[in-house]
Structure 1
């Protein structure tokens, strides 16, 4: 009896081990994370040493596919000896690096454990657009969107991608991107942290075996990611785009899986999202090798909620204000745009009002209910400061309580574009004389700087500085940066 029971149990144990791969990957991730890539704005020079270090690594093949327009190497890293060819390419848009970092995490894992490579050979192209990455911009050096160049193939980066797909006759392709953090899973307040698409290969959106296989893999990947980001997976619209690589890869016979890395709460550098890529893609490689995806019904893919775009960085509800003797109650949607700080090769935030009105169908990463508060435009501190050093010595909490949201500086260094303190700066040398309007401007306008006060009983309770909230009464400062005007 014991013998037969064990024979019955062994297949179940094996199945449990396969099902637990994603959990093993998730829990041991820190052992494999490539720590040298800890922010999103890395460049070609940062990943080239990682690629070079693999040249002596057993099982890895390094191929220089060619060069970008500006002469940077575009490399491919291959591993595995199976017949099924899997091609992954990342950062064809230079400002979409999340999966690039994740690729090097995966490579670190595959250095120590290659068991998931049974029956497959995997080819990573970590940075297809190194010239765009250099400037952290979407397009390549001549302004072409590589992902709209699959037909004309005018840029060398596009030519390389088409050539390698054809030479491998790739069975599966992973098209790795970043999407706006303002996408949400439809009809929910949750960001679409990961979005998938099995692109259409024709206008009719037909489903053949090639596209169906991509759908099945995505269906299984969604089931895995739901364990770690429940309700935060979306599905892109599958309108056929005849110029796009994903659509054409599908047409050329490669089962293509688009993965878009979106937003996640308190993850501005997308490090948790990077981890989800690592877990999801390695799990997908294993399921392709074992062909376990073939049991997945297409309904699992089609049940993934579609993407929507109804998220703001900050949503302020029920804001009351007056204009020309009339009272209004509106919601505000505020977004914090990243502005490149070329002097220091980093960025700062510029908070703007992106929408005004009834935003009851929209959501915020942070939401503040302004019901019962009085809206007030902040004032400029009357004393003109001599320099930035004097500014840094101010008592900012006291100034906010007095209703000030900006100060003026006479001798402001040109290289300083923002301030880590909760107070905007007015550069006296850049002051513009306002136009003479017949009517006063509304205190709230679309596109205006998101800086104002919320008061109750003539006391400042909240200060919104550059789109960030300072809870003045609690002295809770969540302001990442203010700006120099």
Structure 2
């Protein structure tokens, strides 16, 4: 009899798991049907989401409640949907420059409003009540910065509660007494899954609620849901999931929300190759969050082995945007073999609505334990400092792509242009631009230096590095973000 009961339970479990996998697979394949097309970049502001919130206000299915305002007076809204007894609370953009999950939340609203997945949506909304608090830090979002207008990190304000945004989060959590909470963030794109070259595209954490990192039922349930989300995301970003550090931080909201009795799940959106605006990661957030909500609704998470949580690789931070290995660098007449790690720093423009990149050498020497989104083996190539071309061009428009390629092949990484007055500090052309009086500093390879140089083999320049971007001079079609304009 026991064997028969066990077999029935096993068959039911396998049936539910199969349904879950089918559902999540369809979520991924059909994502474009629900994606909010108006959102295309990470620089998402409070005004960008207001039209969508107004639309939800007019829909009887949703309850939209203004739960407070930011320091600078921007409305913060709680959007609720569903009639189930289990409360699930999701908040995003506690840090103003972490917008990936905010975009995914509005994609989820589109999913809930759509005509497909009726059975799954009925299962979710009858078992759960979902509460979304998108863009907790609208003032930070306005200037694309982590901190709020007071200059504090809201995620370190759970005890003192000095910020109105932190007070709102605490008050909403307490009023809902939520069973599950999703703390939605972005992390640096330079995190990798430990001991691999794979970026930690999505990282999860069930925060600790004490220094001993004990696991009770509340934290354990969060771990189980994370294990499930990991199995889903592995299908679309294999090896690209990390486990965030769980050292207890007594000031942090995630840690305290776990302590207060809500199963808290942190989702961090990291890096993905050729996805600077995190739109593919946004899609993974959409799938990950909806998958978690579904498995909470059908209570299948309860059968998951908590031991699998520890099998998720830890987050590490050993990624560069560009890694050059084994290049030869001559210093005082002696050749040395070095690796270079280069990252691109974003500098905001257009009232924080766009940016340009400034390349920097982050490390050099033996970087064999580090990785790159792009890696080039420069063995046999010698680094040659770039020069300024002697001719002065009247305008940037006078520069042609073929001319630039020839200049780079001849060892020039800078050109002089007479009229720079109305230009920004960057150019889409793959060569740095300077004014007619600019004096190029003596070249010294070092940490913090803007990398603009050539790679030469057998007295022929094959590659250029301009503002940290590697250019194959033998290829016509190449991806290039920007070089720099030096006006002073």
- TM-score normalised by structure 1 residue count: 0.94
Find out whether 1:46 has 2:37 as its counterpart. Answer: no
Name the structure 1 match of 2:484: 483
Name the structure 1 match of 2:292: 284
Name the structure 1 match of 2:380: 372
The answer as to whether partners of 1:316 and 1:369 remain within 8 angstroms in 2 is yes
Name the structure 2 match of 1:199: 207
After superposition, the Cα gap between the structure-2 partners of 1:326 and 1:9, relative to the gap in structure 1 and judged at 3 Å, is closer
- 1:325-370 CA deviation, whole Å, 9 max, x = no partner? 2221010000011111136831011111110010000000101111
After superposition, the Cα gap between the structure-2 partners of 1:133 and 1:28, relative to the gap in structure 1 and judged at 3 Å, is same
Q: Tell me by how many angstroms 1:117 deviates.
A: 2.2
Name the structure 2 match of 1:467: 468
Name the structure 2 match of 1:127: 135
5+ unaligned residues in a row in structure 1: which ranges? 1-7, 435-440
1: distance between equivalents of 2:198 and 2:254?
Answer: 26
Q: Tell me by how many angstroms 1:118 deviates.
A: 2.7
| 1:136 partner SS | coil
Find out whether 1:256 has 2:257 as its counterpart. Answer: no
RMSD of equivalent CA atoms? 1.8
Q: Tell me by how many angstroms 1:442 deviates.
A: 6.3
Find out whether 1:173 has 2:185 as its counterpart. Answer: no
After superposition, the Cα gap between the structure-2 partners of 1:318 and 1:282, relative to the gap in structure 1 and judged at 3 Å, is same
Name the structure 1 match of 2:6: none
| 2:38 partner SS | coil
Q: Where do residues 408-427 of structure 1 align in structure 2 (5 Å cutoff)?
A: 408-427=416-435
The answer as to whether partners of 2:20 and 2:295 remain within 8 angstroms in 1 is no
| 1:256 partner SS | strand
5+ unaligned residues in a row in structure 2: which ranges? 1-9
The answer as to whether partners of 2:142 and 2:352 remain within 8 angstroms in 1 is no
2: distance between equivalents of 1:184 and 1:394?
Answer: 38
Name the structure 2 match of 1:154: 162
1: distance between equivalents of 2:256 and 2:321?
Answer: 35
| 2:368 partner SS | coil
The answer as to whether partners of 1:470 and 1:476 remain within 8 angstroms in 2 is no
1:346 aligned to which of 339, 351, 354:
354
Name the structure 2 match of 1:5: none
The number of aligned residues is 471
Name the structure 2 match of 1:102: 104
Q: Tell me by how many angstroms 1:456 deviates.
A: 1.4
Name the structure 1 match of 2:29: 27
1: distance between equivalents of 2:247 and 2:391?
Answer: 58
After superposition, the Cα gap between the structure-2 partners of 1:300 and 1:15, relative to the gap in structure 1 and judged at 3 Å, is closer
After superposition, the Cα gap between the structure-2 partners of 1:50 and 1:320, relative to the gap in structure 1 and judged at 3 Å, is same
1: distance between equivalents of 2:17 and 2:390?
Answer: 72
2: distance between equivalents of 1:152 and 1:432?
Answer: 52
1: distance between equivalents of 2:352 and 2:45?
Answer: 14
After superposition, the Cα gap between the structure-2 partners of 1:310 and 1:12, relative to the gap in structure 1 and judged at 3 Å, is closer
| 2:56 partner SS | coil
The answer as to whether partners of 1:468 and 1:478 remain within 8 angstroms in 2 is no
After superposition, the Cα gap between the structure-2 partners of 1:149 and 1:14, relative to the gap in structure 1 and judged at 3 Å, is closer
Find out whether 1:321 has 2:322 as its counterpart. Answer: no
Name the structure 1 match of 2:405: 397
After superposition, the Cα gap between the structure-2 partners of 1:252 and 1:377, relative to the gap in structure 1 and judged at 3 Å, is same
The answer as to whether partners of 2:388 and 2:440 remain within 8 angstroms in 1 is no
1: distance between equivalents of 2:13 and 2:238?
Answer: 29
| 2:165 partner SS | helix
After superposition, the Cα gap between the structure-2 partners of 1:373 and 1:165, relative to the gap in structure 1 and judged at 3 Å, is same
Q: Tell me by how many angstroms 1:477 deviates.
A: 2.7
Q: Tell me by how many angstroms 1:469 deviates.
A: 1.3
1:76 aligned to which of 68, 75, 78:
78
Deviates more, 1:450-459 or 1:143-152: 450-459
The answer as to whether partners of 1:332 and 1:357 remain within 8 angstroms in 2 is yes
| 2:57 partner SS | coil
2: distance between equivalents of 1:13 and 1:309?
Answer: 39
Q: Where do residues 284-323 of structure 1 align in structure 2 (5 Å cutoff)?
A: 284-323=292-331
The answer as to whether partners of 1:174 and 1:259 remain within 8 angstroms in 2 is yes
2: distance between equivalents of 1:461 and 1:472?
Answer: 6
Name the structure 1 match of 2:456: 455
Name the structure 2 match of 1:92: 94
After superposition, the Cα gap between the structure-2 partners of 1:208 and 1:160, relative to the gap in structure 1 and judged at 3 Å, is same
Name the structure 1 match of 2:193: 185
Q: Tell me by how many angstroms 1:265 deviates.
A: 1.2
1: distance between equivalents of 2:11 and 2:261?
Answer: 40
After superposition, the Cα gap between the structure-2 partners of 1:433 and 1:284, relative to the gap in structure 1 and judged at 3 Å, is closer
The answer as to whether partners of 2:451 and 2:468 remain within 8 angstroms in 1 is yes
Find out whether 1:208 has 2:210 as its counterpart. Answer: no
Name the structure 2 match of 1:3: none
